[in-house]
Amino acid sequence: MKYKKLIFGVLVLFLVVGLVPQVAETAGLKDAIIGNLGGVRTAAQLPEQNSPTAVVAIIIQGLLGIVAVVFFVLTIIAGIKWMMAGGNEETVAKSKQQILNGALGLIVVIFSYAITSIVFNIILNRE
What pLDDT does residue 112 have?
92
pLDDT tens-digit map of 59-112? 888 899 899 999 999 999 999 999 998 889 999 999 999 999 999 999 999 999
How many structural domains does the chain have? 2
75 plus 109 within the same structural domain: yes
Asked whether residue 37 falls in the same domain as residue 73, the answer is no
Same domain, 106 and 88: yes
Are residues 52 and 40 part of one domain? Answer: no
Task: Give residue 124's pLDDT.
Answer: 76
120 has pLDDT over 80:
yes
Answer with the residue of higher pLDDT: 37 or 57: 57
Whether 101 and 122 share a structural domain? yes
Higher confidence at residue 127 or residue 36? 36
In terms of residue numbers, what domain contains 85? 48-127
H helix runs in 2-51, sequence order: 2-43
- The pLDDT score that the predictor gives to residue 95 is 93
3-55 pLDDT, tens digit per residue, is 777 787 777 776 666 666 655 555 566 666 666 666 666 666 665 666 777 77
What's the pLDDT at 70? 93
**Does 110 share its domain with 54?**
yes
